[in-house]
Each structure stands twice: as C-alpha cells, then as structure tokens.
Structure 1
Amino acid sequence: MSRPFTLLLVEDELADAELFQDMLVEVAPDIQVTHVEHGQAALDHLTRTQPGRPDLIVLDLNMPVMNGHDFLAQAKTIPALRGIPVLVLSTSDHPEDIHRAYDGQASGYVLKPGTYQEYTQVLSTIQAYWRGLVKLPSVEELTGT
C-alpha cells in the first residue's frame, strides 16, 4: 500500500486555513494536512527528528513571526528540505512578491481565489497537478535514506 499524500499548510489566518482544509476535503479527502501558523513553526516542524516530510508545502506570504519569503530563504538552504516543492498561495498579486517567491525557489505561485467555486477549482487543479501530473522525489530520495 502506498503512503498517503501529505501537505503542510503554512497559514496564519485560522479562517483561511479552515476554509482551505474544508474545501480540500471536498476535492481530495485522502490528503493528509498538517497546519502551522507561520514560517518559523513550519521550519520547526520540518526539522524535528523524523517528523515525516510532506509531499507539498502550501505557503502564505504575509504572516507574523516569519513570513513566507523568509521561510523560503531559510528552508531552501537546508539540504533535507530543498527538494520539497513549495506552492505559494497568496492574496498578493504584486510583481515584487511573485518575483521574490520564485527567486526564493518557490515551485509555483497561485493567487487565493475570491469565490467558493473558484477556490474549489484551484484546489482541484493543485491536487491533480501535484499528485498526478508531476513526479515528486520520494521521502527516501529527499532524506538520502
């Protein structure tokens, strides 16, 4: 039996995190989601001994403690984390944010949708792309075990 697809959601707004998780259940109920509230909490979670690596990190940009840009800058310097794809999901469509995210090695950048229908479509597309279309490295390949 294959390992379930896992996702780390880094989002400071509890209502946004709950909405994301509720809507994801509608399009992909088998995805396991872990939620943390800022970049430092994500780094702490990812660098703990044997925390299990997520298949995908979904990252907000504007957060307290450590924002998304700072998370990318630090996470992508850690060899064990470098290969985990990071999808930025943000309300910002500012070119500077988009450029900085890709410059920081984000794997993609998606604007947070404005309606329920758009959000459902975006999550459906995200899960289809990251779970079916692309080939991701295994946990063993990421950790060298």
Structure 2
Amino acid sequence: MNRKSFTLLLVEDELADVALFQDLLADAVAEVDVIHVENGRQALQYLNREDQFLNATYPDLVVLDLNMPVMNGHDFLAHVKQQPELRSIPVMILSTSDHPDDIQRAYHGYASGYVVKPSTYEEFVRVVKTIEAYWRGLVRLPSIAEVATRAAR
C-alpha cells in the first residue's frame, strides 16, 4: 500500500462531525493532514488559493458534505469540476442525505463517490477506515499540482 503523506480537505459545517472524523482518522492512520473548512465557498477559496489560503496545497481528496450554509455541496461540486486545474481532484460526498435525487445529482456533477453518514459510532469507524484504505492505499491518484500546472499553460 502507498503510505506517503496524504492531504484531505474536509468540507463540513457540523463541528461534532468534524471532530469525530478527525479523531477517527488520527486513530486509524498516520501521515494524513486534514484541512477543515465550513462550506463550499471556503473550499473554493482554499482550492483557488484565495484570501487566507494563499499558501494552500492541493488536497489528494475532498470529503464534502452536501447541506451547508453559504454554498452547499452541489454548488461547490459544479464550480470545482468546471475548472480544468481542479477537475482531477477526487470529491467524495459524505452526507446525511440518502435521497435518490441527491445521489443522482452528485454523480451527475462528477462526484467520485457517495457515502451516507453513518448513524452509529461503529459504522463511522468502518467508513473512515474504508475511506483511508481506498483513497490512500488502493487507488492511484493524479498529481494535482502537475495537473494544475498543465491546465494553467
């Protein structure tokens, strides 16, 4: 398995979910940097290196909630997938919504995966471990910095 450092951008407005996700990930694996922002607008600012995020590094994965204030997950997904320099960043939805319309809309917007937030602690542990094993260990991800450099040319 690939064990290089891994950067994850967590876009989530519920602070209890953020704390749980970060704690579980820290317990499950090493060398994962979790950057947290509270809504889609902040996530776009981060990815575009705007305002307080001028020195941001591209994440290997975005974990995105759908239902957030300011800019929801669907709108964020639409914006990020329209930008050639950001399009290759995988975006996995982690939402309480199990509604077929949300799932269809997310995949239509080029989400890389859709996971319904677990209702129990044990299920949440399993989900976090699976996210880490799949996105950090199993799949091969593009070098986002290289993709962004090519797209800017």
TM-score after normalising by structure 1: 0.94
Rounded to whole Å, the distance in 1 between the matches of 2:129 and 2:138 is: 13
Partner of 1:7: 8
Unaligned runs of 5+ in 2: none
In the TM superposition, residue 92 of structure 1 has moved relative to its aligned partner by: 0.4
Rounded to whole Å, the distance in 2 between the matches of 1:91 and 1:21 is: 18
In the TM superposition, residue 113 of structure 1 has moved relative to its aligned partner by: 0.8
Deviations 1:13-60 (A, max 9, x none): 111111111111111132100000000000001101552100000000
Asked if the contact 1:8–1:54 (Cα under 8 Å) also holds between the matched residues in 2, the reply is: yes
Unaligned runs of 5+ in 1: none
Letter in 2 for 1:21: Q
- Is structure 2 residue 111 aligned with structure 1 residue 110? no
Letter in 1 for 2:35: T
Partner of 1:132: 137
- Is structure 2 residue 17 aligned with structure 1 residue 16? yes
Asked if the contact 1:84–1:142 (Cα under 8 Å) also holds between the matched residues in 2, the reply is: no
TM-score after normalising by structure 2: 0.90
Asked if the contact 1:56–1:86 (Cα under 8 Å) also holds between the matched residues in 2, the reply is: yes
Identity of aligned residues (%): 62
Rounded to whole Å, the distance in 2 between the matches of 1:140 and 1:95 is: 34
What secondary structure is seen at the aligned counterpart in 1 of 2:62?
A: strand
- Is structure 2 residue 29 aligned with structure 1 residue 28? yes
Rounded to whole Å, the distance in 2 between the matches of 1:14 and 1:111 is: 17
User: What stretches of structure 1 move > 3 A for 4+ residues in a row?
Assistant: none
What secondary structure is seen at the aligned counterpart in 2 of 1:79?
A: coil
Letter in 1 for 2:29: A
Rounded to whole Å, the distance in 1 between the matches of 2:4 and 2:147 is: 15
Deviations 1:65-100 (A, max 9, x none): 000000001111111110000000001000000000
Instruction: Map 1:1-145 onto structure 2 (within 5 A).
Output: 4-48=5-49, 49-144=54-149
Asked if the contact 1:61–1:89 (Cα under 8 Å) also holds between the matched residues in 2, the reply is: yes
What secondary structure is seen at the aligned counterpart in 2 of 1:80?
A: coil
Asked if the contact 1:12–1:37 (Cα under 8 Å) also holds between the matched residues in 2, the reply is: yes
CA RMSD between the two structures: 1.4
